[in-house]
């Protein structure tokens, strides 16, 4: 058979045809229930991530319920356990390799409770964001996570708390602030009720908004501050 005959029968098809290279690949890091992940999934299904696509969910724990949330929506998952590696540096290198393999444009820490080496921040400078359940610089830094944040806010007697989305740097909760949203503290609040209201009224709203802004190229970092452009 002549080559020309074969070409007529099997025309060449570009394997990359139809792929939108303008879309940003989002990798979400999780460790637990994945409520913030669910907020991102819901936003994606409403078309509210600015063209971003959740490419993969990576968990530090094999029993994290967040993995089920991802699988229920057809999102690929990975598990990279800290105890499988001799030290933080080795674990971080494995995570960086996974992010490379997933062609991550944006990394979102959504309840990711594993300590990482500075090498991760350097590899993805101004491309990792985290949501913190307080108005940074209040109630943040080492030891402030989960219910501890809300316990501290109630103990201090502040009248307003909230949530912050910020870029992740080598300084714990010290990266440029992208978005914040305030939540009033009520007289009868417990750490549990406050945590729930901060998630519902702040975290689940500003995290998808920040992801959308990033994917649309509307966040610039200048002199250590995140500037939103239109």
Q: Which of 201, 185, 200 is nearest to 138 (CA)?
A: 185
Which residues have CB under 8 Å from 11's CB, separation 6+?
none
Phi-psi region of 141 (alpha: psi -120 to 50; beta: other; left: phi over 0): left
User: What is the spatial distance between Cα 37 and Cα 57, in angstroms, rounded to a whole number?
Assistant: 9
User: What is the spatial distance between Cα 127 and Cα 151, in angstroms, rounded to a whole number?
Assistant: 30
Which is catalytic among the residues 132, 148, 150, 166?
132
User: What is the spatial distance between Cα 170 and Cα 4, in angstroms, rounded to a whole number?
Assistant: 59
Q: Is 132 considered catalytic here?
A: yes
User: What is the spatial distance between Cα 141 and Cα 146, in angstroms, rounded to a whole number?
Assistant: 12
57: tokens are: 């969910």
For the sheet with 160-167, list strands across it. Answer: 77-79, 53-59, 25-30, 106-109, 128-132, 160-167, 177-184
67: tokens are: 């993995």
Residues serving a catalytic function are: 132
């Amino acid at each position: 058979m002549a080559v020309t005959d074969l070409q007529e029968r099997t025309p060449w098809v570009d394997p990359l045809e139809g792929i939108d290279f303008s879309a940003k690949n989002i990798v979400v890091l999780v460790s637990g229930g994945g409520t913030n992940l669910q907020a991102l999934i819901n936003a994606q299904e409403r078309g509210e991530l600015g063209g971003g696509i959740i490419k993969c969910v990576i968990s530090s724990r094999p029993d994290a319920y967040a993995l089920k949330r991802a699988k229920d929506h057809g999102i690929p998952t990975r598990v990279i356990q800290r105890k499988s590696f001799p030290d933080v540096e080795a674990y971080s290198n494995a995570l960086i390799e996974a992010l490379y393999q997933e062609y991550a444009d944006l990394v979102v820490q959504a309840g990711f409770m594993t300590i990482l080496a500075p090498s991760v921040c350097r590899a993805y400078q101004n491309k990792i964001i985290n949501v913190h359940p307080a108005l940074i610089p209040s109630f943040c830094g080492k030891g402030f996570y989960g219910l501890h944040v809300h316990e501290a806010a109630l103990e201090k007697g502040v009248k307003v708390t909230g949530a912050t989305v910020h870029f992740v740097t080598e300084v714990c909760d010290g990266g440029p602030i992208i978005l914040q949203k305030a939540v009033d503290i009520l007289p009868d609040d417990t750490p549990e009720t406050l945590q729930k209201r901060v998630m519902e009224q702040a975290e689940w709203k500003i995290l998808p908004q920040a992801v959308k802004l990033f994917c649309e190229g509307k966040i610039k970092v200048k002199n250590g501050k995140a500037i939103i452009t239109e």
